[in-house]
Amino acid sequence: MNDDIRALVRAELDAISAYTTPKTIEARSTGLVKLDANESPWPLPSEARARIAEEVARIDLNRYPDLRATELRDAIAERIGAHPDELVIGSGSDEVIAILLTALSAPRPGRARPAILFPVPTFVMFRLNALAHGHEPIEVPLASDWSLDVAAMRTAIAASPPNLIFLATPNNPTGNAFADRDLEGVIDAAGGRALVVLDEAYAWFAGRSLSSWCDRSPAIGALGTLSKVGLAGLRVGWARLDRELAREVDKARQPYNVSAVSQRIATLVMRELWHVVEQQVAAIVAERERLGAALRAIGTDALEVSPSAANFFFVRSRGGGADGGDAGALARELAARGVLVRSFHAAGGRLSGWMRITVGTPADNDRLVETLRALV
């Protein structure tokens, strides 16, 4: 790239790297145990896939998809207890976050650019999208037990009033669901002057949703996705917002942003095959409890396992790995033995000893535990 073109690139992009993941196709084809991406470990059963194939065969691929994703919108609304007009549909919640930032981008009076606020550590796309869209990211550290530091959030909101506040509950990568009183404390601090967005990507595994909180105030929104419950390949996500706000935000959505195939399959699953999703979520929750007990049984001198309300565990290496307590080293040793997990060693600071482990199949989890026992 020549210097003239380079000068046109947004300066904030220098501070980030493009989102990357391991080469998953290679991992699957070589028999690796893949516990690094918070996906469901099970494909849909053959009967469900056959039914989906029938439905896909009816799609006229020579035509654009439904611009409004009408049937999908109705199916999501029925499933979560919302009105279709409250929903903005996107290609995964990643795109929905970007749509929100595009729409709510007017700087506050006297500010050069808008700001968004979120606790850290949390979902990396909040920060990446903020920088990519020219927003100022305001990061507030979580408390030592990974709970919300409401006092610090209040201070940050008062000092730099944000346009949006993102709160992922259960939180990624820590796995914990934030206490209602703490969420309410942040909402109270925002005072209706910022949109507080509850990211519920993992709510399916927590046993409860806070989506109905959107009825409390037009300044509360919620994100949802099908990516964690066995449909990551579809890339279907949504925001539930006040109807008037949803109408304005939807103007920032690209036309035909969700493919006809994704719309049809997601609608079918949410209406006809949802019992399959519920069965798999229940199986993951059961495996979460078994895996958590097995990880803790390895010993607190080797591993610290945080409580989880999601489909993964946040685990600190106390003494394992070639470098002693280095989650990066332990993750590399696991990978060398065919087990992939997500290390946060490169993030440094309080995250350097931590890794995230997705709940897999019983066989996957057994192999993980056996390998960890041998290493630590």
One digit per residue, the tens of pLDDT, for the chain of length 376 reads 676 566 666 676 666 666 655 554 444 546 799 999 999 999 999 999 999 999 999 999 999 999 999 999 999 999 999 999 999 999 999 999 999 999 999 999 999 999 999 999 999 999 999 999 999 999 999 999 999 999 999 999 999 999 999 999 999 999 999 999 999 999 999 999 999 999 999 999 999 999 999 999 999 999 999 999 999 999 999 999 999 999 999 999 999 999 999 999 999 999 999 999 999 999 999 999 999 999 999 988 899 999 999 999 999 998 644 334 678 999 999 999 999 999 999 888 899 999 999 999 999 999 999 999 999 8
Q: Are 68 and 255 in contact (CB under 8 A)?
A: no
* Domain identity same for 128 and 201: yes
* Domain identity same for 107 and 40: no
Q: How far apart are CA 84 and CA 71, in angstroms?
A: 9
Q: How far apart are CA 294 and CA 309, in angstroms?
A: 17
Residue ending a domain, among 247, 272, 297, is 272
| Domain range for 41 | 3-45+275-375
* pLDDT for res 2: 72
Q: Is residue 30 part of a domain?
A: yes
* Domain identity same for 19 and 150: no
Q: Is residue 66 part of a domain?
A: yes
Q: How far apart are CA 112 and CA 60, in angstroms?
A: 47
Q: What is the CATH number of the domain that holds 369?
A: 3.90.1150.10
Angle 173-175-269 from CA coordinates, rounded to 5°: 95
Helices 260-271 + 46-57 axis angle, to 10: 130
* Domain identity same for 194 and 248: yes
Helix H or strand E segment including 371: helix 362-375
Helix, strand or coil for residue 87? strand
Q: Is residue 313 part of a domain?
A: yes
* Domain identity same for 87 and 14: no
Strands 342-343 and 339-340: unpaired
* pLDDT for res 326: 78
* Domain identity same for 158 and 292: no
Q: What is the CATH number of the domain that holds 170?
A: 3.40.640.10
Amino acid letter at 83?
H
Residue ending a domain, among 232, 253, 272, is 272
* Domain identity same for 268 and 281: no
* Domain identity same for 280 and 190: no
* pLDDT for res 268: 98
* Domain identity same for 238 and 266: yes
Q: Is residue 54 part of a domain?
A: no
* Domain identity same for 68 and 193: yes
Helix H or strand E segment including 225: strand 220-225
Which long-range CB contacts under 8 A does 108-116 form with residues at least 24 apart? 108/161, 108/163, 114/162, 114/163, 115/160, 115/161, 115/162, 115/163, 116/162, 116/163, 116/164, 116/165, 116/166
This prediction has a pTM of 0.93
Q: How many domains does the chain have?
A: 2
* Domain identity same for 328 and 366: yes
Q: Is residue 96 part of a domain?
A: yes
Residue ending a domain, among 225, 254, 272, is 272
Helix H or strand E segment including 199: strand 195-199
Is-cis flag, bond preceding 109, omega within 30?
Answer: no
* Domain identity same for 123 and 198: yes
